[in-house]
Amino acid sequence: FQYLRRFDLGYDLDTFQYEAHSEEGSPAECLQLFLLHCGIMDPSWAELRNFTWFLNIQLRDCENSVFCNPDFVQDTLRGF
Handedness of CA 13, 16, 19, 23 (dihedral sign): negative
Task: Provide the pLDDT for residue 17.
Answer: 80
Entry pTM: 0.74
Q: HSE of 6 in the Cβ direction (CA atoms, 13 Å)?
A: 12
Handedness of CA 17, 47, 7, 12 (dihedral sign): positive
What range defines the domain where residue 39 resides? 1-79
Task: Provide the pLDDT for residue 62.
Answer: 84
Which amino acid, one-letter code, is at 60?
R
Say how many domains are in the chain. 1
The per-residue pLDDT string of the chain (80 residues; one tens digit each, 9 = 90 and over) reads: 999 999 999 998 877 888 777 788 899 999 999 999 999 999 999 999 999 999 999 988 988 887 777 676 666 666 55
